[in-house]
Chains A and B, each alone.
Chain A
């Protein structure tokens, strides 16, 4: 399991498992609620909900599911909502390629990663072939 450093002081808001399509819907709705509670406007709520929907779908389609951590933390003097998606799937061979616009995977759909990245304030990704992929995104007002 690939983990990010814990240099950011976080408060854990929730921990969820994505293992089917219903989980994708329920957890993205939960994240919208957290974004609303954090005082984000409707556009930012929609941005983070859409970004996580792309990430959850990747976990489900390519890794058979994974784990989601939702946290709140101080990042660059912002009160950030932090979502970490961890899977133990096949990993991404060429991260640079997967992060470039217009890249499509074998399923002809791409990972939606560059799109998701544009929707949030910070986007980090770790991936290792045969070990898995972890993506951490942060959004603030």
Chain B
């Protein structure tokens, strides 16, 4: 596996961006991904982002902070982020590590994540009427 060449795809479906993270990211890659997602939000005017981490075997403090930073930045851009598919071992480790991820929405899988985003968007529409 060549770590230098891997790129994480950002897929647009209707109003959403789907980001399947399928590589063990080094720090620079995580920072790059963060700005790529923000650029895509601006370019596509996506209303929601689903970040799938189901194949990630480890989330350390850096990646954890990147994910929660991502959610806050997207919120400022009026977009919701949902992190989906975190493995149980990763969740256990994150809590033991002492990393809190305030304001980060999570869902068990892609389908539940999508439903969560739709609910959020509907709520927002109803509130603004």
Contacts and interface: CB of A to CB of B under 8 A. Distances in A.
The reply to whether chain A is a binding partner of chain B is yes
A25 B26 contact: yes
A46 B97 contact: no
A21 B24 CA distance: 11
A49 B57 CA distance: 9
Contact of B58 (A26, A46, A116, A118): A46
Nearest to A24: B26
Nearest to B90: A46
B96 A47 contact: yes
A136 to B, nearest CB: 19
A66 B76 CA distance: 39
Interface stretch (A50-58, A70-78, A83-91, A122-130): A50-58
Interface in B61-97: 61-62, 65, 87-90, 92-93, 96-97
Contacts of A42: 87, 89
A101 interface: yes
Interface string A1-43: 0000000000000000000011011101100100000000011
Give the bracket for the number of chain A residues in contact with chain B: 20 to 34
A57 B61 CA distance: 10
Give the bracket for the number of chain B residues in contact with chain A: 20 to 34
B27 interface: yes
B1 to A, nearest CB: 9
A112 B93 CA distance: 13
A112 B97 contact: yes
Contacts of A109: 61, 65
Contact of A119 (B4, B24, B27, B96): B96
Contacts of A32: 57-58
A22 B4 contact: yes
A45 interface: yes
A24 B29 CA distance: 12
Contacts of A22: 3-4, 26
A115 B61 contact: yes
A64 interface: no
B11 interface: no
Contacts of A118: 96-98
A25 B24 contact: yes
A45 B98 CA distance: 18
Contact of A54 (B26, B60, B87): B60
A50 B60 contact: yes
Interface of A: 21-22, 24-26, 28-29, 32, 42-43, 45-47, 49-50, 53-54, 57, 101, 109, 112, 114-116, 118-119
